[in-house]
Amino acid sequence: MSTYENAPATKMLATYCACCSRPLVDAISVETGIGPECRKKHGYYLEGASEEARKEANVMVHHIAIHQDGPQVVAAVARLRELGFTTLADRVLDRIGCIRIFENDGTLSVATPYREDAVKPMAAIQGRRWDRDNKVNTYPASMKRELWDVLKIYFNGMTLISKKGMAVIS
């Protein structure tokens, strides 16, 4: 039996906020893909943005609200960043729980969401140290392949952010 909730046209509506994933309850929020509090709080009303940039950002936010995660969201967040909506892009990335990797002086700093089953394999990589101040694991850059193998097993499909940009681990 076909109902409103599973009708094909309904799938085009954003039902959850792109920033906080709470249900959207008013028409403007459903149209934009972001709730009223998040619009105020996370830079949706960017000062100095052209009307063209604002319209494109609206399309990107709506796209994020519909998909919630995955490669489509990564591409939309990257475009938001290019358009100057960095606060909004950062908020979406925080919500979807990204993996962040940065290389400094031959050391990889890696921040991942907590997964109990990944703790031992991540800790077993030779040369791993815990950076208490920054709350990240650090690894010698020479262990990049081993680290990548562990990330693919335990964080497959998640968004990865590095100095080279954003990607989805696969």
Amino acid at 97: G
pLDDT tens, position by position, 12-63: 577 888 888 888 888 888 888 888 998 888 888 888 888 899 889 988 988 8
Output the average pLDDT for the chain.
86
Residue 54 · residue 143 · CB < 8 Å: no
Domains observed in the chain:
8-96 (no CATH), 99-168 (3.40.1170.30)
Q: Tell me the whole-structure pTM to 2 decimals.
A: 0.64
pLDDT band at 9 (very low <50, low <70, confident <90, very high): very low
What is the H or E stretch that residue 27 is in? Answer: helix 27-32
pLDDT tens, position by position, 114-140: 889 999 999 999 999 999 998 899 999
pLDDT tens, position by position, 101-113: 999 999 999 999 8
